[in-house]
Structure formats: C-alpha cells, structure tokens
Amino acid sequence: MTIDQSLLAGVLVVTLGLFVWGRFRFDIVAAGALIVSVVLGLVPADAAFSGFGHPAVITVAAVLIISRTLGATGALDRLAEVVGAAAKSVTSHIVSLSALAAVLSAFMNNVGALALLMPVAVQTALKAKRSPATILMPLSFGSILGGLVTLIGTPPNIIIATYRGTTRGEPFHMFDFAPVGAAVAIIGLLYLVTIGWRLIPTGRRAANAPGDLLDIDEYVTEVVAPEGNGLLGKTLKAIGDGWEDEEIVIVALIRGDRRLTGPIQRRVLKEGDILLLKGEPEPMTRAVGVAGLSFVGDERPQSEDLHSDEVTLMEFVVAAGALIEGRAPRDLHLRDHFGINLLTLSRQGASYKGRIANVRFRVGDVLLLQGDADRMPEVTASLGCLPLVQRDLKLRNPRRLIMAAGIFGGAIALTASGLLPAAVALAGAVLLFVLTGVLSARELYDGVDWPVIVLLGAMIPVGGAL
C-alpha cells in the first residue's frame, strides 16, 4: 500500500467514525474530509468541487424540490385519505404505507419520500390508536427498498450509472435496476408486513389518541406577583431572560379572568397577574423564592391552559439535515428569534427529563413547541422540523397538484425512454414548475435539502480518489 493509499484509508476511517459518532453533522464531516483530502494532495485542488456538478447531485437536488412541491400542492392530504381508509388493521396499515413508500421512493429521493409520508404515518397511527413506532420503521425500510428499483431512486444507483457511462460508454437506464431491485424490494416488503413489524419495540410510548401531546403537566405551575414585588413593572421578556439559566419559560399570562397566550414578551407584569411557568421543579422553586413570587394554590394547570385560537402546541420531529440538528436550544434563542417556546422533547420514545437548554438536538427527537398558530408551520419548516400531527387536511389546489404530477410524469417518461438524462429531465421539470407558477422562485431554494447536497458533492471527489 502506497503512502497516498494509506492516507486516503485513514481519512475514510476517520470520516466513517465521525458519521457513527454523530457529534457533528454529516455535511460538516463530509466537507472536512474533502478539505483534508485536498490539503494532503489526495484530491487535486482544481477538482475539489467537481462533485457538486455530478449528475447524481443535480438529480437528487431536483428530486428533493419535486417531492417538496408535490407535498405542498396537497398530495399529502390525498395520501392521508388513502392510507387512512386502508389502516383498518396493523397489517393493512403497514402494507399500505410501506408499499406506497416503496413506489414513491422509486421515483423520488428516499429522504423526500420519507419526509412526504412521515406526517401521514404518525397521523393515521394516532387516529387508529396505535403506536407510531409500529408504522415508522416499516415506512423507513419501505422507502429504502423502493429506491433500489430505478435509476433515480437512490444516489448510489445514479453514481454507478454515471461511472458505467464513463468507463463503458453506455450508462444504466431508468429501469435497468428493476429486475434485481424489484425482486429485493418485494421480498423485503413481504418480510416487513409478515414478520419484521412484530420485532419492533413499541412499549416506549403508548399509542395515544389524536392530538395527545408530550406530558408537560408536571413541569407547569402558576405563580403570582404580590404587592410591592420587584418584578412589577418589568416586561415578561426581561423577567424571562433572568430565568434563562434556570431553564424556566413563561408560557402564559393570566390577567383577571383572561388568559393571554399571544405574543406576551412585551407585556408588563402588573399586580395580581398570574404567570404560567414551565421548568424543572427544583430550579422552579428556587427561582420563585428568590423573586419573591407566590405559588397559586395546590392544583397545577394542565396543557390545555397553554394554547388558544392564536397560540398552539404542536409536536415536531427533527428531520435529517435540519438546521437545528447538532445545536442546543440555548444557542438558537428560539423565543427571541422565532417567537416559539420549546416546552419539552422526547428522545427514542421517552420524555427527556433533564435540563434541555444545553442538550443537542438529534435526528428523530420529538419537540413540543408553543407559538403563534399561523406562523408555526413556516417557522418550523425553516428549522427543518416535520409536523407529527396535521390538524386540518384539505386539498389546497387541485390544479397545482395535477400540473405538478403531469410535469413530473413527463420527466420520468423522458428519462425512461432514454431521450434525456435523468439530471436534465428532472432539472427541466423544476424549471417548468417555476414557469407555470406551481413553484415560486423563493420556494425553489427552500425545497433543497442542502446538507444532503453538501454530503454528496463533498464525498464524490473523495471517493474518486480511490
């Protein structure tokens, strides 16, 4: 083994180790591996960023935009109706979702198909009063298996097809993977729906009725400011900032017989006002005592007291590549920057009982957020979180849905017929989305999962050095 080969092997081993460790986001690790490879002379400097122009990267970016566009046009609502009708039993529920995930991921990126179906899976599971864990893992495997069937189903297929075209002069075409991939997918799905789902642990979190939220009642209490208290006359933001180290959050203000749960940070505390505070019991008691506040009665408020028509409580899951992945709530300043409160989180099916200000978010964490009902979906989407429960599912625009599906179908047909490469056909579909008004120019860039693009673009030159 030469020195360069030894160095490259070392870079790959360290990179894989960092991927497994999970301390740093995968796109940061991939970018670091690329830079180190260039510095060591393993990757030529003029080819360092050639991966970002690779057909696989262009195809994945286009497919991510297309899948997000289809979801925004109301496809999610239709899928929820279809799956909900088929979810009479656990087996039929898993069959419908896993098969649908396999079909979608054959023509979409696996991540895009999973992001489209995850809210549907959780919503239908809650309606059927089943544990979401029973449904989510088969859904994940279904999306992986379906990606094996076609050229664009998964990035490795695209990379292999491109490499074959470079070395043999003839790349793999759209359905060249189908004879093997379809057989593997069918066998895998049969195993999932007959045996696999029975091996999934579901006892970590019981199946809840629709709309049930993470339990926060034991962490919420009411306090009142007596006459002459030093906090009177201060804004709630100033008071809340003083309790930041104790991880105490002001979630509502009760004034007289009115419960104010709108944007309350600029309101001034008055005599007789009651604050609803969320925090751990020990620091809560300590902070309330230091501030000279008084607890109100012995009965704790319930989670229903924390939302109204203007303010809502919703559960969201941290998606792969999310902006908040690997970051701590303290660093994000969610209340100041986005106007939302993080009340609690669930990790691996269990409610997180410790201090959450410094805990770093991981993919799959379930967050209970409180914020403005109208802005919550937009804000959480920008953070990279997916809603677990949809409140009102209605078809938003049938015309946009039909047009988007037609354009996407045309791109698939052009790719399957060999008239256009997949990257060109799908990029053309995205362009048509914008020209026809199905997708706005601003939404175009929001639809790209940039960490995935950075991962692929950075690792392709490193892999090419082999």
> Mind giving me the DSSP string for 138-166?
HHHHHHHHHTTSSTTSSHHHHHHHHHHHH
Quote the CA–CA distance of 207 and 394 in Å, as a whole number: 25
Q: Are 85 and 120 in contact (CB under 8 A)?
A: no
Task: Kindly list the distances between the CA atom of residue 179 and the CA atoms of 56, 154, 185, 186, in Å, as whole numbers in the listed order.
Answer: 22, 16, 10, 11
pLDDT tens, residue by residue, 225-280:
888 888 888 888 888 888 877 778 887 788 877 766 556 778 888 888 888 887 77
Judged by phi (left if over 0) then psi (alpha if -120 to 50, else beta), residue 234 lies in: beta
Query: Which helix (H) or strand (E) segment is 258 a member of?
Result: strand 258-260
pTM here is: 0.64
Q: Taking the alpha carbons of 40, 44, 50, 55 in that order, is the dihedral positive or negative?
A: negative
Choose which CATH entry (2.60.40.60, 3.10.20.600, 3.20.20.140, 3.30.70.1450) describes domain 313-387: 3.30.70.1450
Asked if 321 and 451 touch (Cβ cutoff 8 Å), the reply is yes
Phi, psi (rounded to 5 degrees) for 125: -65, -40
Give the per-residue pLDDT at 376: 76
Angstrom distance (rounded) from CA 227 to CA 260: 21
Q: Which 3 state secondary structure label does DSSP give 3?
A: helix
217-306 matches 313-387 in fold: yes
Q: Quickly tell me which residue has 């864990």 as its tokens.
A: 133
List of residues 6+ apart from 377 with CB closer than 8 A: 387
Residues 385 and 323: their CA atoms lie apart, in Å, by: 9
The CATH class, in words, for 217-306 is alpha beta
Q: Tell me which residues of the chain have a pLDDT lower than 70.
A: 74-81, 84, 109, 112, 201-220, 259-263, 281, 296-311, 320-321, 348-358, 388-397
Radius of gyration of the chain (CA): 25
Residue 75 tokens, joined? 């496809």
User: 319: which residues sit within 8 A by CB, 6+ positions away?
Assistant: 115, 363, 384, 385, 386
User: Could you identify the residue written with the tokens 């566009």?
Assistant: 69
Question: 295 and 277 in contact (C-beta within 8 Å)?
Answer: no
Tell me the C-alpha distance between 30 and 143, whole Å: 24
pLDDT of res. 428: 96
Nearest Cα residue to 50 out of 41, 40, 58: 58
pLDDT at 38: 94
What is residue 394's predicted lDDT score, i.e. its pLDDT? 43
Domain coordinates in residue numbering, the chain: 3-49, 53-207+395-435, 217-306, 313-387
